[in-house]
Each structure stands twice: as structure tokens, then as C-alpha cells.
Structure 1
Amino acid sequence: MVWPTLSMVVAVYVARLIYHAYFSPLASIPGPFLNKISNLPLNYQLIRGQFHTYSVKLHAEYGEVVRIGYDHISLSSTSDTRMVLATHAFRKGRMYKEIGGNGCEPSMFATTLPEVNKARRRMLGDAFATHTMRAVENLVVDAGASALITAWDSEIAKQGQVARVNYYYAFHRMAVDVIGAVAFGSSFNILKTGNADIIDWLHDTAMVAAIRNLAPWLARKPWAFKKLKESRRKIEQITYDSIITRKKVVSETGLPPRIDVLQKCINAKDPETGQGLTPPQLESELILMLVAGSDTTGSTLTWIVMNLLHNPECYKRVTNEIRSTFPDTSQTIPYANAKTRLPYLSAVIYESMRITSPSATMLTRNICLSFGACHHNPRLWKNPGVFDPERFLGPDSTKRINDVLTFSTGVRVCIGRNLAMLDIFTALANILRRYDFKLPDDAPYGPHRLSPSGIPVEVPGLSYLVTGPVNPKNNCWVSISLA
């Protein structure tokens, strides 16, 4: 009886492969043959953190619509991607359920239910509106650009006229401090104290989410990844304590609370129903801001500085623009001035978000979206592998900016994009004015290391929830001195 049963299993399996390859509704969509019958090649690249490069290569070979798995297709057309994200018709995939797992209330990002997403956006939209960002700008600058300048000035004083600093760690510490200042009641003061335990906990928390996506059956085991899960619990406790502390201060003092993102979230009401966030929902949204908001901003700043260091002519032009426009170093450059009076800095930011997007991993729905592939589509971008901020200058700059999907688009556009850009613009404008940057002589990557096509070799990226450089401990050093 064993052999007939085994033969039947094999026959069913072979029939399934034949169906997926030749008779599935997706059979006519181009892609590698193995991908048509199995998700193994796709899952292998996801586990390696290389989906961003894998998708770009597949789209370069097979076109704008590619079958990347037996039940997955990927798009590299910005217009097609916008169509998918324009409505809730294309539901989010299992990945999001797993990210919001572990019995936690799903955040706005993790929920797969359109009605929940809509309600959260109605409740939280005011927390990230332009007028709120104007109100919290001083908090952002104090915990961000100003704190980073204080830390780097201290390093220069310690090391001499030139200091060697790791900008990856500096930017991630700054980004976490900024989220703390606006959404947790106070800065975590990592730049000041050097205590970066919370960053380790955040990375562990993000890793738990990635594992839930790639191996949910394993992540659910109580004995698996105990250290990572303990880090998640520590982040939950910090979040809970921040909410309780704010409510206690308001209750005991009777004074009006300061207006920041935390208070806006506590006070949030759905204008249609009058309902506010439950305690678990509030905690979930704040954790999302801390985990996703800090890592994306830190990685974005890292890639921008790296791209400038690898393209000296762009670095020289952007610093000349900033220093000639705002020569008085005793005055902090505010966001509105940086955004409106520094067009080349703006172009540098958008070009870096295009060529090395921090959100280049796979976003699953019924159709998979690859922002990295969209940003390297040769039909949309001439010489997509070249860092060229000039793309974002001139009469069609607004259209070009809209084609950069780092913050997503449509009904799922990142609600925190205004806060991220406030942090990014103020940090870059002020540090690029104050310091001269130079790659160390032992830098493994830079303008001295060119590809066969004559452009600087890009530092490899690692893409799970956020795309950052591989081995930042070695690849993200810079020598700084006062300008």
C-alpha cells in the first residue's frame, strides 16, 4: 500500500507543478521558470535580505510585470503601483498579519482591514499634520540636529581638529531621540549619554517582525527567539510608561499638556464616530512610530551621506549652496527655509531616496510591490544606477518627486512622512553647513572604487523591513572637521 500511496502523492505534486507552470491564470506572465512553479527562489532572497536587488534584476530581464513566485507577481511601473495603492481593493497579504502578530493590537501599518486603516488615519491625521509639525519643530531640532552637532563637536574636541565618526550609528541614535522627544514625552538622550540599549531592543523588535513574516510557525514557538521577544517586551514597557507618565503629569499639575505627537495621539478622536484609541491601540501606534520611524529616517540619512561621499562633485555643490545661502552659523536653519531655499539639497535627498530607497523590500498584496524596482525602471529613469540629483531640478521636478515612492502612495501613504522630512532636512542642512566631510583613507567604498561602467560601487544593502547598508560598523565612517 505504501508504493501506490507514494505514487499518488508524487503524481499530485507533479500535476500541481504543471498547473502552475502552464495553466495557472499567471502562466502567461514572464519570469524564471523555477519561480513559476515554486516560491523557493523568492523566499530565499527574502531570507537573505536581498529582495531589493533581486527584483531589480528580474525586472531588468523580464519587464515591468514579472512572475516572481507561483502565486506572486511584481510590478516596476510607478503608474501601476499607484493604481494598486489608490484604493483598498488590493488587500494586504499575510506578511502584515504576521508583523502585527504575537497577540498585539495591529497598528495602522500592520492591519489588513481597510475599515481599521481608514479609522486610524482619521484619528491620527492631525498628529502628523503640517501645523503639528510646525509646533514640534523645536523639539525635533533640539533632539536632532542640535544634539548631533553637540555630540560631534565634542568628538572633534576629544580627537583633535579632525574626528572620525560613524554616521550610521549617529543618525540612528538621533532618529530615536527625535521620536522620543515628540512621541514619548522626552528625548531618550542617546546622543548625549551614549547608552544605546534601546536601539538594540528596536532592532530585535524589527527582527521579530521579519521572522514572523518569513517563518511564522517558528516565531510562534514559545521557546524560540526569547532574547528578541524580551526586547519587544521592553519596548512595550517603555511605551506604556510614557503614556502613563504623560497622563499622570496632566492629572496632577492641572496644567495644559504640551502639544506634541504623543498628546495628539492620546487626545485622538475619530471625527465620524467620536471614538478614541484604546490603550492597546495607542501603544501599538507609538511602537510603530518608534520602530519604523527611527530606522527609516536613520537609514535614509545614512544613504544620503554615503551617496554624497561617493560623489564628491555633488557633495561640493550641496555644501556650497547651504553655506552661501545661510552663512550665519549661529542661527539654526529651520525646516521651511531648508525646504524652499535649498533646491539642490532637496534634489540630493530625493535622488538618494530613489537610488537607495530605505523602503525597497517587498510589500505584499495580491500583487507584490517593489519600490526599489520602480526606482530603477529605465523607462522612467535615465541611467537609473547613476546618482544624479539634477533629475529633480527643472520644470518637471514635481512629477519626478511624485515618482519617488519611499513614503508609499495612495490610501497607504506613510502618515509620518512630514515628521521624517522635517528631521531629514533640518539635520542635513545644519550638519553639512557646519562640518567638512571626508572619507577616511581606509574606506572600503568610495569614488576610488568604480564599477565597470565607471560609477562608484554601491555599498551592499540588507533589506528586511527597512533597507540599510551591510556591515555599517566598517562601511559608514567619515572624518569630520569644522568648516
Structure 2
Amino acid sequence: MSSQKLLGAVNSLGLNSLLELFKTSRFWFNLISAYGTYKVIYYLFLDPLRRIPGLWWSRFTDLPFRIRRFRGTQVQYTHQLHKRFGSVVRVGPHSVSVNKACDIKRILASYKFSKSKVYDNAILDAEEIFSTRKEQFNRLRRRQVGPAFSTTGLDSVEDIILDVGSRALKKKIETGIEKGNGSYTINYFDNFQSLTADIIGELAFGRPFGALESEKPSIIRLVNSTIVISVLDAFMPPVKYIPFLFKNYKSDKKQIIDFSNSCIEARRKAIENNEFSKDRIDILQMYLDAHDLDGSPIKKKELIAEIVLMLIAGTDTTSVTMTWLLHFYLMYPEVYKKVVAEIDQAFSEKSTVIRYKEARQNLPYFQATVYECMRMKPAVGGFLPRDSSSDGIQLSDHYIPPNSELLVFIDGAHNDESVWTSPKKYIPERFMGENGKELAKNLVAFSSGVRICAGRK
């Protein structure tokens, strides 16, 4: 028999034997046992995060942690973990939560600790300023949109903001009181959300949505649907590839995309017909005038992604902060009285419109109440996921190795007792004076460092 035929016979015998082996339950029992033993040995003796404190299951899975995210209890749960285990807590096989302010500011201070892979599942299937993990791209976008948030940029659109925002809300309330013979019931969160949507509509889309005038504004439904489906896409990527799942949410998201496209075309047409004022500095125009890294105009898909991001991020964060601020005023009437007294003293003429610069200069206590509101109830709660870099990082008493995910716990930073006295109490006075200005630098409601939110002003 030739060597080739002999080898073939051996291979055939081995394959048949292997197939027979696969059919036995004992084989699978031994295989699973061996794998389980390997995992136990690995996580007990070889796991790079084995010295990071946390619950036992965090060595094997982050599923319980994810479940609490979907139940809306993750923030409270994470506070409990940090209270039990310290400033750095393991919450998954490759993830740790970080709540100490100094550690968090170090992580966010540079591009070394990039955004984690979860950001790859962006709001739209296009890179934008929020989702990008690339330093060069982020720097470019920040330069491009920066003028819209500069003092000059804000001054150029302040009257638009006043007309579409506070004046429109004032008119709606006065009309409601008149129709109700002196009584008017208002859902202030819904109205704040509509107000901010209309303002962002003007600044990012070139037109208001009329949300404040509507009883059930469709734009708010579209925004909320897009947020929901984007979160689902981020944490369960297969969702986007199964057409019949969450069909209504996906339809609403498509409507926002189509509307964004129509606004871009309307602005371009207005420019061609000399119907657009060059004195106006808004977000849409910043991006229309901007160029990508290769010098070409920003692609329409990316342009749509940027302005949709502005709508979604700006509407929710601003309205949530305004709602919590009013809620704190209702809970702390003595604070509300001090705010009113400060405004009355600085602006005795009731008909005077208080502008941004004047408020900054003359209403320090009011500003302090806003800072304290953002500390206690940051609009973006939860975590800012970051990678530990190829070098790892030393956080407090723990070294975090490479290939680990750092979950920057915003609420934790705002309750760090080494920074904040009585962090569970609403104390606006902590932000007064020079010490208050320094303390405000520890707020991470808008993130911090190189990736701080461009719209924080």
C-alpha cells in the first residue's frame, strides 16, 4: 500500500472515530467541565482585573449590570456598589466603574483614553462629533462648530432664541391664564422640551418646529423614538438588521433624517437666491461652510448626522435641566425667594428683557442654583465609557490594565465626598465666590477635558 493511501486510511479512521466521539454525552460533559475549569482558573489566577473589587459574577458577565440599565436603576445600584467596594469597582469581565472626581478628570483630560467601542454604534450610520473615537476628526469638528457657540455666535442668534424660546413660552402661559379666567395648568417638562426643540430647530435646521404651539408636537415623538432606537442599536446591534423589530421607532428615525435632508436643501436654495443673512451664525451654516479632512465639503450623510445629534442631545439635556431646576425651586422655597430677590434687585424694571451677558454679570446666585442643579441631577446620567489605553492606568489604589473599559460614573463624581461637602443636599451657596468658581470645575455634567461638550455654554 502506498504511503498516500495509508495516510488516507488513517485520516478516514480518525474522522469516523471523532464523529462517533461527538455523539456521546460523556464527551460533551467532559468538554464543558474542562472549559469551566479553565475559566475558573483563569478568573482566579490569570485574569488581569482579578484584584479589582466587585461582586463575584462581575468576573464572568456584565448581564446583571446591563439589566439594571434597562430597568432604569443602574445609577442607584452603582452608588451602592461604590459604597461597598470603593472608588473603583468591577462591573463586568472587562469593565470597571470609576467614581472619584480626580480619577475621572484624569481619564477625560486627554485623548489617550479614547471612547470605547460602544460609540461605534452611532445615532446614525455616520461618524459625528459625539460618536467619533478619532482625535483628529473630533478636533476638526470642534473647530468647525465652535463659532456657533462662541460669544459672537451666541450674540448673533440671541434675539431668535428669545423670540422662539422665552417670549413664546410667556405668550403661551399668558394666553392660557386668560382663557382659564386666571387659572392655567401646565406640564412644565413637556413645554420645556417643546421650547428647546423649537430653539434647536432654528439653530440647527434653520426653522422652528412649532412644537410649543402644538398640543402633541410630532417632533418630540420623533426625538424620543430616535433616542430609544439609538440606545437599542448601541447595546443590541442586531436590532437594526431585523426590519420588523421596533418598526415604529425606526420609522420615526427615518422621518427625522428625511426632514433634516429637506432643511439642508432649503438652506442651500436660500443661499443661492440671496435670501439668507450672512450675519447669522448658526450650526447648520457652520457645517455647510465646513470641509472634511481631505478638503472636500462635508458629506450629506455626515451633515445630517451632526444636525440630528444637535436636536436629540440639545432637546433632552436642556429641558431635563430646566425641569429639575424648577423642581428644586418648588422643593426649596427659600432658594426660590433668594433668586427672585436677586433678579428684582438687579433688574427693577419688570418689562426688561434679561440677556445672557447681563445674567452672567448680575445674577451670581441664580447661576449657582443652576450649577447645583446640574451637580445633583446631571442631564446625562450614568456613564461615559472609555478605554484604558495600551499602557493601562493607575486609578487611586488600583492599576487598570490595557484592554479594559473604564465607565466614568458622572453621578459618582458629583457625590465624591472628598470634593463636595454634604453632597446629598441642595446647597447653591457652595458655588458662590472664588471658591465656588474653582469648585464648578469639578462638574462633569458636560463631560470634561478634550471631549467636553461643545454646547456647554
**Interval of TM-score (by shorter of Structure 1 and Structure 2):** 0.7 to 0.9
1:392 to 403, 427, 431: 431
Match of residue 354 from structure 1 = 375
Identify which range, 283-292 or 317-326, moves more after superposition: 317-326
Q: Aligned residue for 2:149?
A: 128
* SS of aligned partner of 2:189: helix
1:260 aligns with 2:277: no
Q: Give yes or no for the alignment of 1:239 onto 2:263.
A: no
Report the equivalent of 1:382.
421
Find out whether 1:29 has 2:46 as its counterpart: no
| 1:478 match | none
1:67-117 Cα shifts (integer Å, max 9, x gaps): 12121111112221121112222222222112345xx21211112222322
Classify the secondary structure of the residue corresponding to 2:65: helix
Letter in 1 for 2:137: V
Q: Classify 1:8/1:197 alpha carbon distance in 2 versus 1 (closer, same or farther; 3 Å).
A: same
- Residue 410 of structure 2 aligns with an amino acid whose one-letter code is F
- TM-score normalized by the length of structure 2: 0.86
Residue identity opposite 1:339 in structure 2: R
Q: Secondary structure at the match of 1:191?
A: coil
Computed over aligned residues only, the root mean square deviation of the Cα atoms, in angstroms, reads: 1.8
Aligned to 2:81: 58
Distance in 2, Cα, partners of 1:174 & 1:17: 55
Distance 1:6 1:125 in 2: 61
2:129–2:306 Cα contact (<8 Å) kept: yes
- 1:409-448 Cα offsets, whole Å, 9 max, x none, are 1121111112xxxxxxxxxxxxxxxxxxxxxxxxxxxxxx
Q: Does 1:364 align with 2:385?
A: yes
> What residue in structure 2 maps to residue 466 of structure 1?
none
Match of 1:210?
Answer: 231
CA distance, structure 2, for counterparts of residue 152 and residue 13 of structure 1: 65
Provide, for residues 453-483 of structure 1, a one-character-per-residue CA deviation record: whole Å limited to 9, x for no partner.
xxxxxxxxxxxxxxxxxxxxxxxxxxxxxxx
Match for residue 201 of structure 2? 180
Match of residue 447, structure 2, among 403, 408, 425: 408
Query: Which amino acid is 2:282 matched to?
Result: D
The change in CA–CA distance for 1:71 and 1:110 in structure 2 (over 3 A counts) is same
Pick closer, same or farther for the CA change 1:255–1:233 going to 2, 3 Å: closer
Paired with 1:369 and 1:234, the residues of 2 have a C-alpha distance of 33
**Alignment equivalent of 2:187, drawn from 162, 166, 169:** 166
Q: Partner of 2:132 in structure 1?
A: 111
- Residue 305 of structure 1: aligned partner: 326
How far residue 397 of structure 1 moved from its aligned partner, in angstroms, is 1.0
Q: 1:297 to 1:51 in 2, by over 3 A?
A: same
Does residue 242 of structure 2 align to residue 221 of structure 1? yes
Shift of the 137–35 alpha-carbon distance from structure 1 to 2, 3 Å rule, reads same
Gaps of 5+ in 1: 419-483
Equivalent residues of 1:219, 1:225 under 8 A apart: no
Is the 1:127–1:265 Cα contact (8 Å) retained in structure 2? no
Q: Distance in 1 between matches of 2:333 and 2:42?
A: 53
Shift of 1:134: 1.2
Relative to the length of structure 1, the TM-score reads 0.82
1:81 correspondence with 2:120 = no
Counterpart CA distance in 2 for 1:407 and 1:200 is 25
Q: Deviations over 1:161-217 (max 9, x none)?
A: 232211110110001011011111121121123341110011000001110122222
Q: Which of the residues 174, 185, 198 maps onto 1:153?
A: 174
CA contact (8 A) 1:100 1:106 kept: no
Deviation of the 1:18 alpha carbon: 4.5
1:21–1:245 CA distance, 2 compared to 1 (3 A): farther
Deviations 1:215-269 (A, max 9, x none): 2223331221110010000100111111100111111236644432221221124
* SS in structure 1 of the partner of residue 351 of structure 2: coil
Query: 1:285 matched to which residue of 2?
Result: 306
CA distance in 2, matches of 1:254, 1:306: 43
Contact 1:98 1:216 in 2 (8 A): yes
> Structure 2 counterpart of 1:373, which letter?
G
Aligned to 1:276: 297
Question: Pick from 4, 22, 47: which aligns with 2:70?
Answer: 47
- Asked if 2 retains the 8 angstrom alpha-carbon contact of 1:51 and 1:362, the reply is no
Instruction: Work out whether residues 128 and 305 of structure 2, in 8 Å CA contact, stay in contact via their aligned partners in 1.
Output: yes
**Whole-angstrom CA distance in 2 between matches of 1:392 and 1:275:** 45
In 2, are the aligned partners of 1:38 and 1:70 still within 8 Å (CA)? Answer: yes
- 1:206 and 1:377 map into 2 onto residues whose CA distance is 29
Unmatched 5+ residue regions in structure 2? Answer: 1-23, 388-405
Asked whether the equivalents of residues 47 and 214 of structure 1 are also in contact (C-alpha less than 8 Å), the reply is: no
2:145–2:283 CA contact under 8 A, matched in 1: no
Deviations 1:321-366 (A, max 9, x none): 1122212221211011111211111110000100011111222122
In structure 1, the residue matched to 2:353 is 332
Contact 1:269 1:276 in 2 (8 A): yes
Q: Which residue of 1 aligns with 2:391?
A: none
CA distance in 1, matches of 2:127, 2:161: 27
Compared with structure 1, are the counterparts of its residues 317 and 162 closer, same or farther at alpha carbon in structure 2 (3 Å cutoff)? farther
Q: Distance in 2 between matches of 1:377 and 1:35?
A: 24
- Matches of 1:350 and 1:204 in 2, distance apart? 29
Taking the TM superposition and a 5 Å limit, the aligned residue runs for 1:7-22 are 7-22=30-45
Percent identity, aligned pairs only, is 31
Residues 1:22 and 1:314: Cα distance change in structure 2 (over 3 Å): farther
- Structure 1 residue 6: Cα displacement: 3.3
Q: Distance in 1 between matches of 2:436 and 2:72?
A: 32
Inter-CA distance 255–62: structure 2 relative to 1 (3 Å threshold): closer
Larger Cα-atom Rg: 2
**Alpha carbons 1:100, 1:111 under 8 Å: kept:** no
Count of matched residue positions in the alignment of Structure 1 and Structure 2: 415
User: Are 1:4 and 2:27 an aligned pair?
Assistant: yes
The answer (yes or no) to whether the contact 2:200–2:314 under 8 Å persists in 1 is: yes
> Kindly tell me: are residues 6 and 112 of structure 1, through their superposed partners in 2, closer, same or farther at Cα, counting changes over 3 Å?
farther
Cα contact 2:384–2:409 (8 A) shared by 1:
yes
**SS of corresponding position for 1:368:** strand
For the Cα contact (< 8 Å) 2:446–2:452, is it kept in 1? yes
> Which residue in the other structure is 2:158 paired with?
137
Q: Secondary structure at the match of 1:363?
A: strand
Say whether the 8 Å CA contact 1:107–1:281 is kept in structure 2.
yes
